[in-house]
Structure 1
Amino acid sequence: MQPQPERSRNRRRIRPRRVAALASVSALTLAVSASAGTGHLAPGGTAAGAGPVAALDRSSTLGPCLINGHPAVQMSEGIPTPGGYARSTGTVRALTVMVDFPDAPGQGKAMDRFHEFFPQTRKWFRTSSYGRLDYRPSTPIQDWLRMPKAFLDYGIDRGAPFDPGYRELVQDIIAAADAKVDFRDYDLLNVLVTPNAGPSALDTVLSVTFAGNADAPVADGVPVANASFVYSRQDDGSGTYDRTGYRVLPHENGHVFGLPDLYTQEGGGAVGHWDIMSEDWGANNDLLGWHKWKLGWLDAGQISCASGTGTAEFTLTPLARPGGRKLVFVPLDARTGYALELRTREGNDEAVCRPGILVYRVDADIDTGMGPVTVFDSREDSGGCTRSPNVHAELSDATFTPGETFKDPARKISVEVASADVSGTYRVRVTRG
C-alpha cells in the first residue's frame, strides 16, 4: 500500500472534467538493452546521458541517493543513466528528415512540417536544461524524402523494436538520404512523417522512439541507435495545436536521452502533467527535477540527499529558475526513494495552477510505461485546479503548500512544508525516525 499524505485543511471540491483519451493517445517507447550501442551516430561518440552524475562517487554525500534498478529493467530511473543513449548536455545535433509515401504524398512543403516542431523544440530544451543542452536540428534534405513503398506496405504498428516493417523503413530512409547525409555527423535522428500517413492521433498514436538500440540498421558504419518517429498531428480540435502540438517531439527525444515513459495503461494517472514524459498533449510542462539531475542539467550542489535520521531543513528554489537547490531526495533503499521539488508557474511550467512542493516516489526497478514514478496528491478526489486541454486534472493540485505535511508512517518519514517567502523559495523539513 502506498503511504497517504496527511492533510490538515479542508479540501475545495471541483467538478472533474473528462480528459480526452489520455490512455489511448500516449506515445510508445520501444527500448532495447540500454547498456549496449553508442550514444552518438558516429563511432567513438560518448554517451553523456547522465552528464556530471556519472562522475559522482557513491561514497559521497549523494551516494545513498544514487538508486539503481536491475540491469534487465528497460529505461530505468536509476542514476547514472547507462551508456548507449544520445548525449543530453552540450551541443547535440539532430538529423531531421521529412518523409512521405506514394500512397500518402506530403501535404504542402516539407519545411512546413519541420516548422511544426522548430524552433519550439529547441527553445523547450534550452529552457528546461538552463542552457546546458544546445539542441541543433539539421535538415540537409529540405524536401519530402519519398519512400519506395506505400505506407501500408510497411505494416507500421505499435510493434516490437525494429520488427521487419520498421527495419525496412529505416533502411529505405538511409538509402534515400545517403547521398546527402553523413550519419556520423549526428547524435540522433528525427523522422517527421507526413501527417496523412496512418491513423489520426485521436484514434491511436504511432509516434515511437528506438533508444540505445545497437541492433539498429547501420548507416555510414554506425547503427542508427537513437531515432524518434512522429506521425499524425496531436490535434484535439481545441485550437491549441499551434502552441502545443510540437511537444510530442521533446517527449520522444526524452527517450533518446534515456528517460522512460511515465504514463501507465490508465493514462497520466501516476504523474499527471508534472513531466512531459507523462503527458505531452495540452499546455506546456517541464521535466521532473529527478530527470533534470539524471540528464546532467543539475549540479551535485543543487541536490540534497536526506539519508540520515532526525530532522533536517532545506530551502528549495523554483525548478524553472536557474541556480539554487532544486531537489531533495529521501532514499528508502537502493532502488527507491521520495523526491521533493518546488513547482511554480513559469518557464516551461505554464500549466501549473497550484505552486508548491511536489512529492513523488521514484522506483528504479520498474520498467518504462509501468509506473516508475508516482506523484502523491495533497488533495485527493478534488478534481484538480486546471481546465487546460488534455491535462490530467486530478493531480494538477497535488503540490503541498505551507502548513501541509506528507507522511509515510510505516517508514517513519514526514515532509513538512514549513514556509514560503516573497522571493518564491520554500523551506521544507524532512524527518526520518
Structure 2
Amino acid sequence: MQPNRRIRPRRVAALASVAVLTLAVSTSAGTGHLTAGTSTVAGAGPVSPEHPSALRPCMISGRSTVQMSEGIPTARGYARSTGTVRGLTLMVDFPDTPGRGRALDRFAEFFPQTRDWYRTSSYGRLDYRPETPIRGWLRMPKSFRAYGIERGAPFDPGYRKLVEDIVVAADPKVDFRSYDFLNVLVTPNAGPSALDTVLSVTFAGNAEAPVADGVSVANASFVYSRQDDGSGTYHRTGYRVLPHENGHVFGLPDLYTAEGGGAVGHWDIMSEDWGANNDLLGWHKWKLSWLDDAQVRCAAGRGTAEYVLTPLAREGGPKLVFVPLNRRTGYALELRTREGNDEAVCRPGVLVYKVDADVDTGMGPVKVLDSREDSGGCTRSPNVHAELSDATFGPGEEFVDEKRGVRVAVVGVDLTGAYRVRVSRE
C-alpha cells in the first residue's frame, strides 16, 4: 500500500480509508472475530435465515481469520439490515474548531438522502431512521489536534479516547439502548480537507468499544471533512460517504484496493462512494437479506441451464445467479440497468464478477470481469472508474473461464427488459 500516492481524488480517499478502517479489533471496518452481544441494542445483528438446501453450495464462507468476509451468512455482531433500524446521529465539534452554522445543517448534508438511498437499495426492507436527540453541536473536551487522529492505526488511542469522550458527553441526554448504531458527523472545519486525505472510518463489531447504558457502542461510523473533490457535484454526491460507512455496520467489506476502484469500479458503493449515484451488488443484497432465496439461483451442477435475470434495481423477480467454484469462491451474475440508485450505468447488461469469501476487506474480495478490456469505458461522469463502466455483457456475448470449465452466455432480452443467460459447466 502506498498511502501518499496521489492518483485521483477518489483513490486518495480510498487509500486513506484502508488505513483507518483497521481500527476495529485491528481489522478493516470489522472482523470475523466477533463475539455475541457486541451489538448496540438487544436482538441486533444480521438476519441469518435458514436457507434451502439447493442454495447451500452457493453459500461460500471464509476462514475464521478473514476480516469482514463476503461469506453468507454474515458473522454476528453487526447491526440489523432489515426492518426498522435507528441510527443515533451526533454532530460533534471541538474547542479549537467550533461548528460553523447550525448543527442541523450538517445533519441535512446526509439526510434524508442516506435514508432514501437505503430505502431504494433494499426495496423498502430497511427502514433507516436517523435520530438526533441532541440538536446542537456536541462539544468535545479537547481540541481535534489533541486526539492525534491522522490516518489511524490498529488500536489507535486517539480514536479510543474520542469515542469515550463522545459517550460521556452524550450520555446525559441519550439512552444508547434505543439505537442500533452510531453516526458521528464531525464539523467539516476539523481535520484536513477531503482533497488531501479522508479520515472517515467505521468501527463495526468492535469488541473493545465503550459501554453506555449497559450496551456496547460497537458499530459506529465517523464522517469528517466534506466529500467535495472539486468536481462541482457535491450538492448531489457529498452525502454518499455515509451510506458507504454504514455499509460496514451492516457487515459489508471495502471493495476498493490499494490501487483504488480498479477491482469493482462504480458497480457498488462499497467500492466507489464519490461521483454519480450507484447501488450495491446483488451479492450484497442477498447477504443483507434484501433478496429472497427464491430470487437467487445456484448453478452448482454440471451441464447447461438457462436462467432469467430481471433488472437489479426493480423489486421482485429473479436477481442473482451464482456459480460456485469451491466452498470459498464463485461467479455472480446480475442485470444492471440505469434506474433506481444506478444513475451512472452507461451500458446496461449482465454484470459478471468473482466473489472470494477468503479475501480480507480492502484486499479485493470481489473482482468484476470486464467484457471490454482496455476500452476506456463509456462514462465521463466525474469520479467514476471509467474502464469498468462498460464491463457488462450484452446479448450475443459470453464470458469463458476455460481453466474451470465455466461458460456464461447472454442469449437474449425480452420486451420487459429481462435477460436470459446460459450457464455451462464441464
The two structures have a TM-score, normalised by structure 2, of 0.94
Q: Counterpart in 2 of 1:125?
A: 118
SS of residue paired to 1:61: helix
Question: In the alignment, what sits opposite 1:38?
Answer: 37
Which residue matches 2:11? 23
CA contact (8 A) 2:85 2:129 kept: yes
Deviation at 1:24, TM superposition (A): 1.1
- 1:128-167 alpha-carbon deviations (Å, 9 max, x no partner): 0000000000000010000010000001122235421111
Gaps of 5+ in 1: 1-17
Q: Percent identity?
A: 75
Judged with a 3 Å threshold, the aligned counterparts in structure 2 of structure 1 residues 19 and 321 are, in CA distance, closer, same or farther, namely: farther
Cα displacement string for residues 1-21 of structure 1 (whole angstroms, at most 9, x for unaligned residues): xxxxxxxxxxxxxxxxx9833
2:387 paired residue number: 394
Which residue does 1:405 correspond to in 2? 398
Higher relative contact order (CA 8 A, sep 6+): 1
Displacement, 1:422? Answer: 1.9
Question: Would you say the 8 A contact 2:38–2:216 is kept in 1?
Answer: no
| Structure 2 equivalent of residue 7 of structure 1 | none
Q: Does the aligned pair in 1 maintain the 2:305–2:423 contact within 8 Å? A: yes
| C-alpha distance in 2 between matches for 1:287 and 1:176 | 35
Aligned counterpart for 1:327 among listed residues 320, 329, 340: 320
The one-character-per-residue Cα deviations of 1:257-315 (angstroms, maximum 9, x if unpaired) are 00000000000000000000000000000000000000000000000000011100000
Match of 1:250 in 2: 243
CA contact (8 A) 1:38 1:225 kept: no
- Bigger drift between 215-224 and 318-327 goes to 215-224
Q: CA deviation at 1:45?
A: 2.3
Q: Tell me which residue corresponds to 2:298.
A: 305
Q: Which runs of 4+ in 1 moved over 6 A?
A: none
Give the SS at the match of 1:330: strand
CA distance in 1 between partners of 2:38 and 2:71 (Å): 17
- Measure the CA separation in 1 of the matches of 2:369 and 2:145: 43
Instruction: Determine the C-alpha separation between the residues in 2 that align with 1:248 and 1:115.
Output: 14
Alpha-carbon distance between aligned partners in 2 of 1:62 and 1:235, rounded to the nearest angstrom = 42
| Aligned-pair CA distance for 1:238 | 1.8
Tell me how far apart the structure 1 counterparts of residues 124 and 155 of structure 2 sit (CA, whole Å).
33
Query: In structure 2, what is the equivalent of residue 6 of structure 1?
Result: none
Kept after mapping to 2: 8 A contact 1:19/1:392: no
Where does residue 56 of structure 1 map in the other structure?
Answer: 51
Q: 1:33-182 to 2 correspondence within 5 Å?
A: 33-34=31-32, 35-38=34-37, 40-42=39-41, 44-47=42-45, 49=46, 51=47, 53-57=48-52, 60-182=53-175
Residue of structure 2 aligned with 1:378, choices 356, 371, 374: 371
The partner residue of 2:273 within 271, 280, 284 is: 280
Q: Classify the secondary structure of the residue corresponding to 2:237.
A: helix
Per-residue Cα deviation, 1:20-55 (whole angstroms, up to 9, x for no partner)? 33321123433434422536313x3231x2x2x542
Match of 1:415 in 2: 408
Aligned to 1:9: none
Kept after mapping to 2: 8 A contact 1:36/1:213: no
236-245 or 136-145, which deviates more: 236-245
Q: Secondary structure at the residue paired with 1:229?
A: strand
Match of 2:3 in 1: none
**Aligned pairs, number:** 410
User: Hey, what's the Cα distance between the residues in 2 that align with 1:194 and 1:170?
Assistant: 15
The whole-number CA distance in structure 1 between the counterparts of 2:7 and 2:142 is 37
Question: Is the 2:44–2:180 contact (alpha carbons within 8 Å) kept by the matching residues of 1?
Answer: no
CA–CA distance in structure 1, aligned partners of residues 425 and 241 of structure 2: 40
- Say if 1:336 and 1:361, in contact at 8 Å, map to a contact too: yes
Residues of 2 paired with 1:149 and 1:75: CA distance? 33
The DSSP-based 3-state class of the residue aligned with 1:273 is: helix
5+ residue gaps, structure 2, are 1-5, 26-30
Distance verdict in 2 for CA 1:39–1:348, change over 3 Å:
farther
Measure how far apart 1:327 and its partner are.
Answer: 0.2
3-state SS in 2 of match to 1:62:
helix
* 1:205 aligned residue: 198
In structure 1, what is the Cα distance between the partners aligned to 2:218 and 2:411? 46
Distance, in Å, in 2 between the alignment partners of 1:162 and 1:218 is 17
SS at match of 2:145: helix
Amino acid across the alignment from 2:109: E
**Alpha-carbon distance in structure 2 between the residues aligned to 1:343 and 1:380:** 18
Three-state SS of the structure 2 residue aligned to 1:92 is strand
Q: Would you say the 8 A contact 2:92–2:139 is kept in 1?
A: yes
Distance (whole Å) between structure 2 residues aligned to residue 155 and residue 19 of structure 1? 26
